[in-house]
Amino acid sequence: MLTYFVVQSFNFTPRGAITAGSAVEVQDIEHALRLAEKLAECSAGVVAFSRTGDPASGEFDDAVILYANGTVPVLEAEMSVAC
38-75 pLDDT, tens digit per residue, is 999 999 999 999 999 999 999 999 999 999 999 888 66
Count of domains forming the chain: 1
Find residue 25's DSSP bridge partners.
6
Quick one: pLDDT band at residue 83, thresholds 50, 70, 90?
very low
- Domain enclosing residue 55, as ranges: 2-82
Q: Which one, of 24, 22, 29, 23, lies nearest residue 3 by Cα?
A: 29
pLDDT value at 81 more than 80: no
* pTM exceeds cut of 0.95: no
